[in-house]
Each structure stands twice: as structure tokens, then as C-alpha cells.
Structure 1
Amino acid sequence: MPPDARLTSAMLVGALRRRVAEAGGFATILVKGDEISGVILVQALDRGQDIGLFERVPNLDGGYALMRCGPATGDDPEALATYIERRRRSDPDLWIVELDVPEAERFAAETIC
């Protein structure tokens, strides 16, 4: 792949969903964003328990990393809903993907970063 080429957001999300399914987990797209370059948020769960919300962000090496974002785990569920709604209003191209699999953060980091 040429140095300036990159995978689209839709391709990354598709790969993430397949990997999680192959591991026996569940992945669903809660909000479909821009196919090419939408920001990707991952809502991580383990057996239905909230692990956290992570955003794919560029790093200083020219690659990507996952950064925890949003309200702290265990906060009022309304706080998470409010945060997501605010993000969607400011960025309508945003993807939100829910992963319910052990080590969801690791799956996301290995696949989309």
C-alpha cells in the first residue's frame, strides 16, 4: 500500500466486527458515520458490563492509538448518553461501535490502530 494510502473507516469497522465475531463476541454499529474518514468511537463491554468509551486518534508516529474518552466508567448512564449525543451533534460523520467481548479495548487497538 502506498505510504499515503489508508483504510477507510467503513473497512476498519467491518474488520473489527469480523474479528470480534470470530472470537465469540458481539459487535454492532450503533451509529454509522462517514464511510471514508469518520472518527471511530468504541464502546467497550465485557458480558454487558461497561468497560469504557475509546476514540481512535492520530498519534505522533503517524499512526493511530485508542484514547479513553467520555465520562468515567460507572458514572450515571445518562452521562454517557449525553456525551455521545453532544459528540454526534458536533461531528455527524462519527461512527460508534459497541463491542461486547473480553478484552474489547485490545481487539479495537489491534484492528483499527
Structure 2
Amino acid sequence: MSGRLPTHLAVGALVRRVNDAGGFAVVRARGEAQSGAILVVIEDDGRIRALERFRDLDDRETLVPAGPSDSDGAAMDDYWRKRRVSDPDLWVIELMIPQAERFVAETILVC
């Protein structure tokens, strides 16, 4: 048995925490419930960027930038939709809240 939290629980916790804090969080695409990858699209001061949970060779998790940087909404939508074609297990979460990266790190990264 793995000590990792299933993806669907981590995503659910992130969405609840952001919404409870007065922000906006929505699941744009559902992936594989147990071990799907997570891509978080963040809108911050008119900028749209994405972060992805990444597991390195030492089995540590971190957040890495993904997709086009400082893109508009259409470019980011195109990016994640193309990613889902090659990886249907990918979860896509959209957040609109100050300090979104902090919410993501505190919720979905395993210490």
C-alpha cells in the first residue's frame, strides 16, 4: 500500500480549501482517480499560468511551471486540451485566489 494520497482526494481538498477561503476553484477535467497527474491553471492579476505536480527520481514532489508562460486564456486552454489527448489521466484544476501557489503546495504536495 502506498503512502500517497489518491489524486481525487487531493484535488477535492484543494477545491474545498480555495472555495472556503473565498476564492474560485473548479475542476476543468477529471483524470485517473488514484494516480493521475495534476495541472493547476492559475489566474493571477490578469496573468494566466500553470503549475504541475512533478515527482522526481527521489520520489519527492514539487511544483513546476507548465505550458505557455503569461498566456491568454485561449492559449492555456489549447495547451491543456492537447495534453489531455496524450494523457487522459490528467486532472486540470482552475484557481482564482491570491497566493494560489501556496494553496496548491500546502494541499497537494506530500512532505
TM-score normalised by length of structure 2: 0.88
Aligned mates of 1:77, 1:11 — CA distance in 2:
27
Q: Secondary structure at the match of 1:80?
A: helix
Aligned mates of 1:30, 1:76 — CA distance in 2:
16
Q: Percent identity?
A: 47
Alignment of structure 1 residues 9-88 onto 2, 5 Å: 9-46=7-44, 49-73=46-70, 75-88=71-84
Q: Secondary structure at the match of 2:89?
A: coil
Count of residue correspondences: 109
Q: Is the 8 A contact 2:36 2:91 kept in 1?
A: yes
Q: Is the 8 A contact 2:8 2:34 kept in 1?
A: yes
Aligned mates of 1:104, 1:87 — CA distance in 2:
22
Q: Is the 8 A contact 2:39 2:91 kept in 1?
A: yes
Q: Is the 8 A contact 2:38 2:53 kept in 1?
A: yes
Aligned mates of 1:12, 1:27 — CA distance in 2:
13
Unaligned regions of 5+ residues in structure 1, if any?
none
Alignment of structure 1 residues 73-112 onto 2, 5 Å: 73=70, 75-112=71-108
TM-score normalised by length of structure 1: 0.86
- Moved >6 Å (runs of 4+): none
| Superposed displacement of residue 76, structure 1 | 4.7
- CA shift digits 1:11-48 (9 cap, x unpaired): 0001101111121111100001111111000001236x
| Superposed displacement of residue 110, structure 1 | 1.1
Aligned-residue RMSD, C-alpha: 1.7
Aligned mates of 1:76, 1:24 — CA distance in 2:
24
Q: Secondary structure at the match of 2:68?
A: coil
The answer to which structure has the higher strand fraction is 2
